Chain A
Amino acid sequence: MAVRPVYFDYSATTPVDPRVVEKMLPWLYEQFGNPASNSHAWGWEAEEAVEEARAQVARLVGADAREIVWTSGATESDNLAIKGAAQANQARGRHIVTLKTEHKAVLDTCHELERMGFEVTFLDVDGNGILDLDMFREALRPDTILASVMLVNNEIGVIQDIAAIGAICRDRGVIFHVDAAQATGKVEIDLQALPVDLMSFSAHKTYGPKGIGALYVRRKPRVRLQAQMHGGGHERGLRSGTLATHQIVGMGEAFRIAGEEMLAENLRCLALRDRLWAGLSAIPSVYLNGDMERRVAQNLNVSFGYIEGEALLMSLRELAVSSGSACTSASLEPSYVLRALGRDDALAHSSLRLSLGRFTTQDDVDLAIRIINERVNQLRELSPLWEMAQQGIDLNSVQWAAY
């Protein structure tokens, strides 16, 4: 491909910040020691770097460094948190509560636990993507041991009320896990104040490298977890495997920068996002998915009536965007997140997730507005549904063939 498309997919992954790359490089060659080697200087300096990074990650989220466990990413953190807590606490009960709009790393882990004999309740959310607290409270049972609710949704960017959900969990003695992969650097997180027991992090959503993440495991009150990876007993036995010093240093530096620049970056992204929405909301039959107020500044998820999502994506050659949910392509299956919001199938089919970030410019946004306007119009010229709607035909009254 001659010209790369303009990047509007920061929720999928972010580029590694050049400052982070700089910090990582020495740990690949000059300082390659194994942090677990305690008999020589190569190991000592690597261990020191790992511990500094651990402190940097802890500082961004208001945790104690001893509460941070390195993993390969948020998916592994989710697996360790959910399976580990379920298995270690199954004597108290075997019921788990989560949301239908969670990331697959949580949903599929819960399905695996179902196969292992646990019972899982998958809760609906309101039409704006937010969990109803009363519904959550009612879902908890005497045998509920664990709840898992994400802080920021990866498709629609909405922010759940983690403080309130956590308070309910505390009250009922339920362990509370939060997937915060999409939240770091976008939402203030203070684990000293938040009643959260386990929290998953990823580096590559926050301008760090892929392949590294962390799990916060509360010390007071202590959360018991069963390890999922066995071996040399690294990370106090919770996650064996040689620590990837360069990755860890990268995550630490990325989280340090996130802490310093979050406020300014959020303001800048908010202005760009609002400009984008102003330009897209002028298109007829456009719908915003997810609450606009309780949403991170970096996300916009829109549906366009009467055109299909994949055709729209394919037409937006100049833009790197996604339909929101990864890897559901090729099927006729619409986004499960949008379906959980009660969006009808046609709108769930045509959703577009635009996520912006540190390197998005106003020119990028203006280009996106122009291109999307143009292509939506072109596809509508091709769409029999748009023509019918223009003629005032109610599409729900049409007798469609069954498939």
Chain B
Amino acid sequence: MVGGRQGNMAYSEAVLDHYQNPRNVGGFDQADASVGTGLAGSPAVGEVTRLQIRVDESGIIEDARFKTYGCGCAIASGSLISEWVKGKSLDEALGIRSTDIAQALALPPVKIHCSILAEDAIRAAVRDYRNKHQG
């Protein structure tokens, strides 16, 4: 990894900001009916993000928490989406695209997978919430 300039120089201010001051770190009670939990990635690929959303009665995401195992860009992506999903309806949250995340963080091409992981985490969290509220 020494040769890849993975050091602070290579990353955008946005990545460094989220990496150094991650927002909404933590979790909610997974069993809570108002909470949707999404887990994306795997230890084998070196990246796992857990995104949890708390949804109010009108179907709006009122709060979010995340934790990420992964590189700086993966952590920044997790932090960013935990901010973005707040105040959105579930369908609006599903409208967040990995390309938007990659653009907002100015991710280098080799780190695009981090934004895809974040999008996956949103989908998984919404899916989990909706599964809880079916029937």
Taking Cβ atoms with an 8 Å cutoff, the residues of A that contact B are 9, 12, 306-311, 313-314, 317, 322-323, 325-332, 334, 344-346, 349, 381-387, 395, 398, 400-403
Contacts and interface: CB of A to CB of B under 8 A. Distances in A.
26 contacts: A308-B46, A308-B47, A310-B6, A311-B70, A311-B72, A314-B71, A317-B8, A322-B1, A327-B4, A328-B1, A330-B108, A330-B110, A332-B46, A334-B46, A345-B45, A382-B22, A382-B25, A384-B49, A384-B67, A385-B43, A386-B69, A387-B27, A400-B43, A400-B48, A401-B120, A403-B45
Given A314-B71, A345-B46, A387-B67, 15 more contacts: A308-B46, A310-B6, A322-B1, A327-B4, A329-B1, A330-B111, A345-B44, A346-B46, A383-B68, A384-B50, A384-B69, A385-B48, A398-B39, A401-B42, A401-B120
B113 A332 contact: yes
A313 B45 contact: no
A310 to B, nearest CB: 4
Contacts of B2: 9, 12, 322-323, 326-327, 329
A329 B41 contact: no
Contacts of B122: none
Grouping DSSP codes into helix (H, G, I), strand (E, B) and loop, the B interface class, with mixed when no group exceeds half, is mixed
* Tier of interface size on chain B: 35 or more
Given A311-B70, A323-B1, A383-B68, A330 B6 contact: yes
Contacts of B68: 382-384
B40 interface: yes
Contacts of A326: 1-3
A331 B110 contact: yes
A326 B5 CA distance: 10
**5 interchain residue pairs of minimum CB distance:** A329-B4, A327-B3, A400-B42, A330-B110, A323-B1
Contacts, number: 112
B77 to A, nearest CB: 12
Interface string B79-110: 00000000000000000000000000000101
A34 to B, nearest CB: 34
Contacts of B41: 400-401, 403
Given A327-B3, A331-B110, A381 B25 contact: yes
Nearest to B120: A401
Nearest to B40: A401
Contacts of A12: 2
B43 A346 contact: yes
